[in-house]
């Protein structure tokens, strides 16, 4: 590429004496100019990309900051939950210790109750008379061998049954009033004598005495029925 320049030639007196024509090869200059312009455009594109990247980084930084705040909040909640769990664990441990203490007491009382029941059964077995222990609903709680010999029912058959519903030779309906009277806290000074039929089908006179089961001054929690067969 050539750049043509035309310049007038003027004399000292100012008269035009000719024209000067020069030819300059500007190919290298033109290429340098184009390269500069291309570099300028590349810089502008790079700057725009850099600006976009900066904006993306700012957005990412804001998101990271928001996430960090959420994580801090979550951490605080987890710490609070952990403290609550530690408190609950301490309470559960305390409750477990209390339950162990109660269980020990129950085991001790169960042993005492078993021993008392053993003594009671031993006493009931040693009595010749028929002895029946009733709860406050007149259900059979204990039934000794004497009662089995009289009426033919075993303890397994009698226990848990309502005394007034027992199918035995004793007219239990005639004892209803006396049973209710003693259970309500009254006294029965004289035994009740009833005509009955024993397990062998023979008529027999039975002397029945009632004794309340004491309950620390409150209404009796049950009663004991003593049944003695009278000799004919």
- Which CATH number does the domain housing residue 153 bear? 3.30.450.20
Whether residue 57 lies inside any domain: the answer is: yes
> Does one domain contain both 55 and 142?
no
> CA 4 → CA 22, 27, 31, 133, distances in Å?
6, 13, 18, 142
> Does one domain contain both 41 and 133?
no
Give the three-state DSSP class for 212. strand
In the structure, what pLDDT confidence band is assigned to residue 183 with cuts at 50, 70 and 90?
confident
Whether residue 219 lies inside any domain: the answer is: yes
pTM, entire model = 0.51
> Where does a domain end: 19, 44, 62?
62
Long-range contacts of the stretch 64-68 (C-beta < 8 A, 24+): none
> Where does a domain end: 62, 89, 110?
62
Percent residues over pLDDT 90 in the chain: 38
> Does one domain contain both 54 and 131?
no
What's the mean pLDDT when you consider all of the chain?
84
**DSSP code of residue 200:** T
> Where does a domain end: 62, 85, 112?
62
Q: What total number of domains does the chain contain?
A: 2
Percent residues over pLDDT 70 in the chain: 86
> Does one domain contain both 56 and 141?
no
Whether residue 88 lies inside any domain: the answer is: no
CA dist 95 and 92 (Å) reads 5
CA dist 106 and 93 (Å) reads 19
> Does one domain contain both 145 and 51?
no
**56: pLDDT strictly greater than 70:** yes
Measured CA angle at 14 (ends 13, 18), to 5 deg: 115
Whether residue 213 lies inside any domain: the answer is: yes
Specify whether the CB–CB gap between 203 and 225 falls below 8 A: no
- Taking every pair of Cα atoms in the chain, the longest distance, rounded to a whole number of angstroms, is 188
Structure tokens at 49: 């990309």
User: Which residues constitute the domain of residue 44?
Assistant: 2-62
- pLDDT tens-digit profile of 63-100? 999 888 999 999 999 999 999 999 999 999 999 999 99
Whether residue 117 lies inside any domain: the answer is: no
- pLDDT tens-digit profile of 124-150? 555 568 999 999 899 999 999 999 999
> Does one domain contain both 140 and 219?
yes
Specify whether the CB–CB gap between 59 and 35 falls below 8 A: no
> Does one domain contain both 52 and 139?
no
**DSSP code of residue 211:** E
Give the three-state DSSP class for 23. strand
CA dist 117 and 96 (Å) reads 30
Q: Which residues contact 28 (CB under 8 A, 6 or more apart)?
A: none
Whether residue 45 lies inside any domain: the answer is: yes
Whether residue 75 lies inside any domain: the answer is: no
Whether residue 112 lies inside any domain: the answer is: no
Choice among 17-31, 80-94, 183-197, 208-222 with the minimum mean pLDDT = 17-31
Enclosing H/E stretch for 29: helix 27-126
């Amino acid at each position: 590429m050539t750049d043509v320049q035309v310049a007038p030639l003027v004399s000292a007196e100012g008269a035009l004496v000719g024209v000067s024509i020069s030819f300059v090869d500007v190919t290298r200059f033109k290429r340098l100019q184009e390269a500069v312009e291309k570099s300028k455009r590349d810089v502008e594109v790079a700057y725009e990309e850099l600006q976009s990247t900066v904006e993306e980084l700012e957005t990412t930084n804001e998101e990271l900051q928001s996430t960090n705040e959420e994580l801090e909040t979550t951490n605080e909640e987890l710490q609070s939950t952990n403290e609550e769990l530690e408190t609950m664990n301490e309470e559960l441990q305390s409750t477990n210790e209390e339950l162990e203490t109660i269980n020990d007491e129950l085991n001790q009382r169960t042993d005492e109750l078993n021993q008392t029941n053993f003594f009671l059964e031993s006493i009931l077995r040693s009595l010749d008379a028929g002895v029946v222990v009733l709860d406050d609903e007149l259900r059979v709680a204990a039934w000794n061998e004497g009662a089995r010999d009289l009426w033919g029912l075993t303890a397994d058959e009698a226990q848990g049954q309502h005394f007034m519903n027992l199918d035995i030779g004793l007219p239990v309906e005639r004892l209803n009033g006396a049973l209710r009277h003693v259970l309500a806290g009254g006294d029965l000074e004289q035994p009740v004598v009833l005509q009955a039929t024993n397990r062998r089908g023979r008529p027999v006179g039975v002397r029945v005495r009632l004794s309340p089961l004491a309950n620390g001054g409150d209404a009796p929690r049950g009663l004991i029925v003593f049944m003695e067969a009278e000799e004919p």
